[in-house]
Amino acid sequence: MTWAVRLIGICVVFATLGCASGVSKQARSEITYEGSFAELQKAPEEYRGETVMLGGKVLRTDASEATSEIAVLQLPLDSSSKPKDADDSEGRFLIRSDRFLDPAIYEQGRPVTVVGRLAGKQARSIGGFEYVYPVVEAIELKAWPWPRQKTSPSVHFGIGVGTWF
């Protein structure tokens, strides 16, 4: 076996492992709505009962012993169903769960992806105007690791081998 074949095999294994840590195949198989978030937000009542996959950044988490609600700023998902770190949100949505979701885990700014059933809409005030949130009842909820933040600029020297300053 050549080194190139081995390298390709190793890359396939790591790519497969990377995908395995996202949303489960079982949850993905339940998705019935494949349209855009903008379309969904215009008329959430029309899609009541559909199973959707949405993601974004947590804005707020309210939790009690029996139920939890997470307000999320919608963001587009990448190929692994992780929210992209972008500024092109199409709105907000609510995630509801019949279990306790710890606000220390689902804290503001944390990227999340949810697969759930659309339960309709809820109007709430944002900055003095009424905003309509699509409401998703969670089937599966994934809290992604925090994005890595650069604390200092890095400079690389050399070809293939380098050092950080």
For 67, the token pair is 């139920």
3-state secondary structure of 90: coil
CA separation for the pair 160, 151 (Å, rounded):
23
Tens-digit pLDDT string for the chain (165 aa): 554 434 344 433 344 344 446 899 999 999 999 999 999 999 999 999 999 999 999 999 999 988 999 999 999 999 999 999 888 899 999 999 999 999 999 999 999 999 999 999 999 999 899 999 999 999 999 999 987 765 555 555 556 555 555
- The domains located in the chain, with CATH, are 23-143 (2.40.50.140)
pTM, full prediction: 0.77
Check: CB of residue 137 under 8 Å from CB of residue 67: no
CA separation for the pair 134, 94 (Å, rounded):
6
The DSSP symbol for 46 reads G
For 80, the token pair is 């692994």
